[in-house]
Chains A and B, each alone.
Chain A
Amino acid sequence: MYKFEPGIYKELLNKGNYDQTFSEDIGPHYLRAPLFRVVGDWDPTQIEVFREKKTSGPVTVQQQSINGLGLGDRYVEGHLEDSSPLLGKITKALPFAKSRSLVHIQKPGQMHMLHMDANYGNGFWDYLGEEKNKKLARLMIMLDDWAPGQVMMFGGKHIHHWKKGDAIYFRWQDIPHGTANFGHTDRPLIITTGEVTDKFNLLLEQDEVTEIKI
């Protein structure tokens, strides 16, 4: 039967340190869902991307181009600055020294194929040098409660039933991930990459889910 396996996916998978077992039991080094929760009274129905921008490069295109799919079939994407202003309050509260955020609204019928991320912000973080792998972390801030038909996968672990404000931490450099929305409602999130702080590391060390109020 048909099998689509872009060479770049395998190459990146082998470059990372994930054991490729795709076991449901994935260690906290790779995934914390959630790591913490942002608590606020934002209205998910008011979230919009005013100016769409595709930030992904050829590596992503290659992994998403299958059966007629393209980058636009993943989600509506835009920079934080080109999205609803209320979201700025959320990113300011995140435990990062410096950060870069994108807004992804995955509409019903959109999916992001299982893939590996290759980049670190298209040069944005190059000033950190070789150590950027250790100095950066990535979070997905879920902007609405989970709804049926919305699924995310990290390694072999399905993530669903999240709550509004959940901050999902994952090692994007190491674990394959993909998402789909075959439900009936939009799935908005902020994806933020940032320079870790002591506060961030403290959150990683603790088991309980801290609430960050905005």
Chain B
Amino acid sequence: MKYLKGALDTTDFESVIKKYSPNARYMHEGMTSSINLEDADVREAMSLYIRHGLNPTKPLGKRHKFKHKDGQYPELDLAIEKIGLTGCQCVLMSQEPGMFNMWHNDEYGSYGERDKSQIRRLLIFLTDYQPGQFLQWGETILQDWKPGDIICDWGKLSHGTANASEHTRVMLRLTGVVSEKYESFIKSNIT
């Protein structure tokens, strides 16, 4: 897992959050209209919940999917272009107080049938860290992030999150295919 401090600190995230709020919906990954059991992410999410006696209808948080340059979040267009992933899947996601995402590995199933070795995923923080917001990636507990900080390239590293704070945590998740531009963005921003 890589941490890019302040990589996108000039983006107007407050404006993005204002537009996101009315669009945000509680949903499971890949379960926008039906429970698609062809999708490995959906199967994993369902089995995790059921294995632990949890209610699979309990949401992980809210989501809003959009496409690069579709006019919904123009503030993010430049940032996404700068990052340089090709075929970029864009999801704004929030974790409201009391929500959690169980310890898991990403299967990248929602990204479709592609060569998984070429898929990269990033999370861009849109809100400040607040005490009680728990993010664990591998052995690391993250904290003190700022809007514009990025975590990326964790591959199959296990991770999970919970929000025991009083504040909603908002992130932009990008998933796409690696490119030279992307590699160069990571290299120039890694701390």
Within 8 A of B (CB), among A80-121: 107-109, 111-114
Candidate in B103, B134, B158 with the most chain A CB atoms within 10 angstroms? B134
Interface range, B side: 35 or more
Chain A 192-204 per-residue mask, 1 if CB under 8 angstroms from chain B, else 0: 0000000000000
Please tell me if B17 contacts chain A, counting CB pairs below 8 Å: yes
Candidate in A5, A149, A155 with the most chain B CB atoms within 10 angstroms? A149
Cβ contacts under 8 Å, B21 to chain A: 1
Please tell me if A156 contacts chain B, counting CB pairs below 8 Å: yes
Q: How many A residues face the partner with a CB closer than 8 A?
A: 38
How distant is the Cα of A100 from the Cα of B109 in the complex, in angstroms? 50
Contact B97 A148 (CB under 8 A): no
Contact A151 B167 (CB under 8 A): no
A157 vs chain B, min Cβ distance (A): 9
Across the interface, name the chain A residue whose C-beta is closest to B167: A3
Contact A22 B131 (CB under 8 A): yes
Chain A 151-190 per-residue mask, 1 if CB under 8 angstroms from chain B, else 0: 1010110101100000000000000101111111000000
Cβ contacts under 8 Å, B58 to chain A: 109
Cβ contacts under 8 Å, A58 to chain B: none
Please tell me if B96 contacts chain A, counting CB pairs below 8 Å: yes
Q: Which of B101, B102, B143, B168 contacts A158 (CB 8 A)?
A: B143
Within 8 A of B (CB), among A1-36: 1-6, 9, 22, 24
Please tell me if B175 contacts chain A, counting CB pairs below 8 Å: no
Contact A151 B141 (CB under 8 A): yes
Surface stretch bound by B, among A39-47, A63-71, A129-137, A206-214: A63-71
Candidate in A2, A3, A156, A158 with the most chain B CB atoms within 10 angstroms? A2
Candidate in B161, B164, B167 with the most chain A CB atoms within 10 angstroms? B164
How distant is the Cα of A152 from the Cα of B58 in the complex, in angstroms? 22
Q: Which of A108, A156, A182 contacts B131 (CB 8 A)?
A: A156
Cβ contacts under 8 Å, B103 to chain A: 148-149, 182-184
Contact A114 B98 (CB under 8 A): no
Q: Which of A68, A108, A158, A176 contacts B141 (CB 8 A)?
A: A158
How distant is the Cα of A153 from the Cα of B141 in the complex, in angstroms? 11
Q: Which of B17, B54, B166 contacts A3 (CB 8 A)?
A: B166
Question: Per DSSP, are chain A's interface residues mostly helix, strand or loop, or mixed?
Answer: loop
Cβ contacts under 8 Å, B42 to chain A: none
Contact B131 A114 (CB under 8 A): yes
Cβ contacts under 8 Å, B165 to chain A: 113-114, 178
Chain B 140-160 per-residue mask, 1 if CB under 8 angstroms from chain A, else 0: 010110000000000000101
Within 8 A of A (CB), among B63-119: 94, 96-103
How distant is the Cα of A65 from the Cα of B91 in the complex, in angstroms? 29
B105 vs chain A, min Cβ distance (A): 11
B contact residues vs A (CB 8 Å cutoff): 17, 21, 49, 51-54, 58, 94, 96-103, 127, 131-132, 134, 136, 139, 141, 143-144, 158, 160-162, 164-168, 170
Given A149-B102, A156-B143, 8 further pairs, Cβ under 8 A? A1-B168, A2-B97, A2-B168, A66-B98, A113-B165, A149-B103, A182-B100, A182-B161
A sample of 30 inter-chain contacts (CB < 8 A) reads: A1-B21, A1-B94, A1-B168, A2-B97, A5-B166, A24-B143, A66-B97, A67-B96, A108-B52, A111-B162, A112-B164, A113-B166, A114-B165, A114-B166, A148-B158, A149-B103, A149-B160, A151-B136, A151-B141, A153-B132, A155-B131, A156-B143, A158-B143, A160-B141, A178-B132, A178-B165, A180-B164, A182-B100, A183-B102, A184-B102
